[in-house]
Amino acid sequence: MRSYDFILRPTACTITCLILSGLSGCGGPSAPSHVFFGAYFPSWLLFAVLWVLLAVAVRLLMVLTGSGTSWPWPLALCLASGFLLALASWFLIAGALP
């Protein structure tokens, strides 16, 4: 075994540190939020609700047009199209990504 072999082989600690470094949080003083009904709602929660509503709307559109059975993996299609529509509408409304 070579002396520098440990550098080339990632350990569990290295992989865990790399994964957890992405979860460090927002750099600002607080997370982006919006006030509704006197309470603060985080932006990611509003984006998730918008995503679900648009995914349901895409599914209803597929059922009403009769194309719901012709697409492979309709759940993945509805979730992906709902996500893209929610991301586009959020970017147009808020002017920034969630």
Greater pLDDT, 70 or 29: 70
For 47-79, write each residue's pLDDT tens digit. Answer: 888 899 999 999 899 889 888 778 888 888 889
pTM of the prediction? 0.60
* 16-28: b (≥16 Cβ within 10 Å) or e: eeeeeeeeeeeee
At residue 27 the predicted structure's pLDDT band, cuts being 50, 70 and 90, is low
Task: Give residue for tokens 């440990």.
Answer: 6
- H-run or E-run covering 42: strand 39-42
For residue 66, count CB atoms less than 10 angstroms from its CB and return exposed for 0-12, middle for 13-18, buried for 19 or more: exposed
Q: What does the angle CA 62 – CA 87 – CA 49 come to, to the nearest 5 degrees?
A: 70
Q: What pLDDT, on the 0 to 100 scale, is given for residue 67?
A: 82
